[in-house]
Copies of this chain bind each other. A is one copy, B any other.
């Protein structure tokens, strides 16, 4: 007879139905202590039959581990945080860990509220995510009784932090363009006060050397458009490739180039950054770009917080996960003559 819905089954029900004590039932279900194989089977079968599910609250109260973690995010649900959150959740669900999602909207009061709620719920750890480096963290995370993992955000010096490897990602883009025979590569990117923008730009400058130029602006299509107009209006040699700091910028760049009757990729090759499919697949031609492997980032962060919460050691410091080049048609084929 299944649970008829009147009340949740407890371990007491299991014990009674199996004709054992509750401690035996507990041992049988959890493979703890010494239990006769036969009784164990019987208890388990009964538990299954009556639809017993252990109460996670009671368990957590006793074990002081809730098997839940919190994700505190700054981001107004952008495309960065959420593929990542999916990665976190995906890797943790198989370990019986659930994820509280807390959007702070960059509001310190909200952040504090969420943080307290998480602590009250005895979460085993917190993953903090931001889209940009905020000079004043929204909330004091450093002296918490539980581990914290940072993603896309800088924690204290000795904390566990994950970032995409912006430097390697930018190099991937530049190298790809060079292999295709491009030599006058321009970089159009986002605001200078974004760490990611600065790192990518520096990597680009290091790779391209003399004559390289990085133009900082917004993370917008409009800025990409505007930058191209500026560059093509002024005298001097024109670039034969443009490496963009985001796919949105790349989209603006591509549109502006078309307006100028510059052919892509024949005259100018374009590379983006993000692999935001809804943009990158829809440009004409489709955009070659850099994927930050957000899901993998989420996996790693999830595993890290899991280990930390078990007291296992995790290497501190910033781990930068490699980006991946996604080749579409905006750079032309490596086999072209020029």
Contacts and interface: CB of A to CB of B under 8 A. Distances in A.
Given A89-B103, A113-B93, A282-B220, A119 B61 contact: no
Interface in A101-133: 101-103, 105, 110, 113-114, 116-122
Contact of A102 (B96, B98, B252, B282): B98
Contacts of A248: 278, 282
A85 B96 contact: no
A259 B99 CA distance: 47
Number of copies: 2
Contact of A120 (B53, B103, B122): B53
A248 to B, nearest CB: 7
Interface stretch (A31-39, A75-83, A307-315): A75-83
Interface centre among A57, A85, A282 (most CB of B within 10 A): A57
Nearest to A6: B145
Given A93-B114, A110-B93, A121-B56, A101 B103 contact: no
A329 interface: no
A143 B90 CA distance: 26
Contacts of A83: 77
Contact of A101 (B61, B89, B113, B122): B89
Contact of A103 (B61, B86, B94, B116): B86
B55 A122 contact: yes
Interface in A244-289: 248, 251-252, 278, 282
A279 to B, nearest CB: 8
Nearest to A101: B101
A133 to B, nearest CB: 22
A126 to B, nearest CB: 13
Interface of A: 5, 8, 53-58, 60-61, 66, 68, 71, 76-77, 82-83, 85-86, 89-90, 93-94, 96, 98-103, 105, 110, 113-114, 116-122, 143, 145, 220-222, 248, 251-252, 278, 282
20 contacts: A5-B145, A54-B120, A56-B121, A56-B122, A57-B66, A57-B121, A68-B100, A68-B121, A77-B82, A77-B83, A77-B85, A82-B82, A85-B103, A90-B105, A93-B102, A93-B110, A98-B117, A100-B100, A221-B282, A248-B282
Given A54-B120, A85-B101, 18 more contacts: A53-B116, A53-B120, A57-B57, A76-B86, A82-B82, A86-B103, A93-B102, A93-B110, A93-B114, A98-B114, A98-B117, A98-B118, A99-B102, A101-B101, A221-B282, A248-B278, A248-B282, A251-B282
